Structure 1
Amino acid sequence: MNKKILKVGNLIANPGEKIQGNITLKVSDDNIIDIPVTLINGIKEGKTVAITAAVHGGEYTGVFGLIKLSREISPQDLSGQLILVHITNVSAFEAKMQYVGPIDGKNLNRCFPGDKNGTHTEQLAYFISEEVYGQSDFFLDLHSGDIHEDLMPFTLYHRDASEEVRMESRKIGELMNLGPVIGSGSDCGSINGMAMKYNIPGVLAELGCRGECNVDQAILYKDRILNVLYYYGLLDGEAEVLNPEEVDYVHCMYCLDADIDGLWYPSYGAGDEVSEGELVGYITDYFGNILREYHSPVNGRILYNTTSLAIRNGDPLISFISNINTCTCCSNHGLLEWHNRDNI
């Protein structure tokens, strides 16, 4: 029997309890964050799993999927513990903002592992790092394609973690079975990179896009999470395990960023195949005059692109992926230093 108390912030769940409520984080006298969380403490011992949604304010499918999951699981059926953070970045979510938050203008997924004495977003990142991921055996971070993004579903794991963490993370990505399983070498302050600090496996998942809250996709998110929980024995059930030849492994991810302000016109959508040198979009001024054209650096697929007409210098435009057996971009195009520089 489980004898472990589950505590996150001011919420406490004893063995056999499901507790829902707001975790209150006081950043300053006039800046208090209330984070909606469900704690489920199983009656039997097992792994502790953290699942977060809405790290970015305009990503909704994960929120809906996590709500469905939290209502379905009983502590009497659970072997282990679940920490479910329904809306991680509450201020950005309520403001319906893409990428950054309204209080300090920072991207939460660039601030991990955070700073306990930092700005609003940095303190939030520190709290999630220490209180949520810091006591977990593995994690799932649910993203959904922001308000201005078109993307194909995928999972991302950190390929530069230890061998054990890397392979376990990849296994979790396989079990999610959402699409390409991508090894990222990015070290930009994301949750995925933060996991290296704690040496715990996990994935950043993407399902849904354009700021939509699709019921069918939310149910799919829930079901794919359940598949992971079945595999690791937190719940009774038979996990669907793919054979290696069935998994779409990807090791190269390359992003194009805007280098000028203007209006962005992409030529293709997420999942489309493109050839090296092919025109994938262009930026015009406000009178329709073409200022820049952008071409694919690789033979591959479009993982995601920006759908908003307005674009600023430095904004991500489009991301490409290439499979390990066909990718030549790093050797042929001098992109080694850009290899896997993702903007998720």
Structure 2
Amino acid sequence: MSQDMTICGLEIKRGTKLRTMLPVPDTMTKIPLTVINGVDDGPTLLITAGIHGGEYPGIAAAIELGRDIEPEHVHGCLILLHPVNIQGFWARREFIVPEDGKNLNRVFPGTPLGTLADKTAYLISSNLFTIADYYVDMHSGDIHESLHPYVYYPGQPTPEVEKASKRIAKVVDVEYMVRSLATGGAYNYAASTGLPSILIERGGAGLCLHEDIEAYKDDIRNILRRLKMFELPVKPRHYHPRDITDMIYLESMETGCWFHHIHSGDFVQKGQVLGRTTDLFGQTITEYYAEISGVILYVCPALSAPKGTILVGYGQVVEDDDD
């Protein structure tokens, strides 16, 4: 419901917008926060962008949405953090929080007694997940990642949370959605607490393209419309996402140079060559083949591939979805 709200000691009255820097307790770090507390009643939607500081389109979209949306546009309350991993953002680092070397998305729910990543996760999980009715985590391919836009919804929590999460995933303007069986990550943790949540992947390779930013903004406006939080017109969608099952995340078995034979968005057949790793003299170490037929959602475009690098992510397309 839209009412006077208090977030981490900050009071946001009904019908007002707050734009400020939110301190991470017991650190010197502050995170950009925008709260748009609508004039009219409605749900509370939490949006995070930049949990990985090198994933730029979602960050830019959140900044612009926070700037442009006014309280009179909103039924309920819209909360945006942009970017969460502000150290990684300014340092142009992939995945990690530079101060402690941790992947912030892997430490939720965090702890107030840990390092910066732990304290940041705890700030969000203990103060924002608890007041939200829905949660959207905006990601992109990181500095060394190329991907085809898609959306995850959680498959581990209760059927009710899964259904509510999928309901908002289905209005994202992407071709594919993935039912995640993972237990890690901010949105999966949030779902485990009963909070319907999704994670959107759009853009990548360290780029911040205008078309990705605008598409992301349209995604959020569509979600706001689905939740009856927004009445301004939105652009028609191009896609109605289809489910992807049996996702495979192919990891490099050794450190080497990675030469991929496919691109994100490609369809592959079982047994097709996906790529190969070589040594620094060009001699093939390992050739990688598709285990199943499906669509490529993610490719590592970097030549350098340390052991354990996710080289390709792909899965089978479910043609009919009558949910």
Q: Structure 1-normalised TM-score?
A: 0.88
Alignment gaps of 5+ in structure 1:
327-344
Match of 2:292 in 1: 298
Separation (CA, whole Å) in 2 of partners of 1:132 and 1:289: 51
- Within-5 A mapping of 1:200-219: 200-219=195-214
**Matched-pair contact (CA < 8 Å) for 2:47–2:81:** yes
1:232 is displaced (CA, Å) by 1.3
Percent of residue pairs bearing the same amino acid type:
33
Separation (CA, whole Å) in 2 of partners of 1:241 and 1:64: 22
Separation (CA, whole Å) in 1 of partners of 2:305 and 2:254: 8
**Matched-pair contact (CA < 8 Å) for 2:170–2:240:** no
CA distance 1:200–1:241, shift in 2 (3 Å): farther
Match of 1:21 in 2: 20
**Matched-pair contact (CA < 8 Å) for 2:218–2:235:** no
SS at 1:67 equivalent: helix
SS at 1:134 equivalent: coil
Match of 2:89 in 1: 93
Separation (CA, whole Å) in 2 of partners of 1:169 and 1:159: 9
Match of 1:160 in 2: 156
Match of 1:308 in 2: 302
Separation (CA, whole Å) in 2 of partners of 1:6 and 1:35: 19
Are 1:267 and 2:261 an aligned pair? Answer: yes
Match of 2:64 in 1: 68
Separation (CA, whole Å) in 2 of partners of 1:167 and 1:241: 23
- Within-5 A mapping of 1:239-258: 246-258=240-252
Match of 1:108 in 2: 104
Separation (CA, whole Å) in 1 of partners of 2:86 and 2:247: 30
**Matched-pair contact (CA < 8 Å) for 1:21–1:36:** yes
Separation (CA, whole Å) in 1 of partners of 2:279 and 2:268: 26
Separation (CA, whole Å) in 2 of partners of 1:167 and 1:321: 21
1:239 is displaced (CA, Å) by 6.9
SS at 2:204 equivalent: coil
- Within-5 A mapping of 1:101-140: 101-140=97-136
Q: 2:167 aligns with which of 171, 177, 197?
A: 171
Separation (CA, whole Å) in 2 of partners of 1:116 and 1:148: 31
**Matched-pair contact (CA < 8 Å) for 2:44–2:77:** yes
SS at 2:276 equivalent: strand
Separation (CA, whole Å) in 2 of partners of 1:151 and 1:224: 17
Separation (CA, whole Å) in 2 of partners of 1:101 and 1:182: 27
Separation (CA, whole Å) in 2 of partners of 1:321 and 1:192: 21
Are 1:180 and 2:176 an aligned pair? Answer: yes
Q: 2:74 aligns with which of 68, 72, 78?
A: 78
**Matched-pair contact (CA < 8 Å) for 1:11–1:21:** no
1:238 is displaced (CA, Å) by 6.0
SS at 1:317 equivalent: strand
**Matched-pair contact (CA < 8 Å) for 1:144–1:206:** yes
Q: 2:194 aligns with which of 194, 199, 220?
A: 199
1:246 is displaced (CA, Å) by 4.5
Separation (CA, whole Å) in 1 of partners of 2:147 and 2:299: 7
CA distance 1:162–1:239, shift in 2 (3 Å): farther
SS at 1:32 equivalent: coil
Equivalences, count: 320
Q: Structure 2-normalised TM-score?
A: 0.94
CA shift digits 1:12-60 (9 cap, x unpaired): 3111110101001133xxx411100101111111100000101101100
Alignment gaps of 5+ in structure 2:
none
Separation (CA, whole Å) in 1 of partners of 2:241 and 2:119: 37
**Matched-pair contact (CA < 8 Å) for 1:184–1:251:** no
Separation (CA, whole Å) in 2 of partners of 1:15 and 1:76: 10
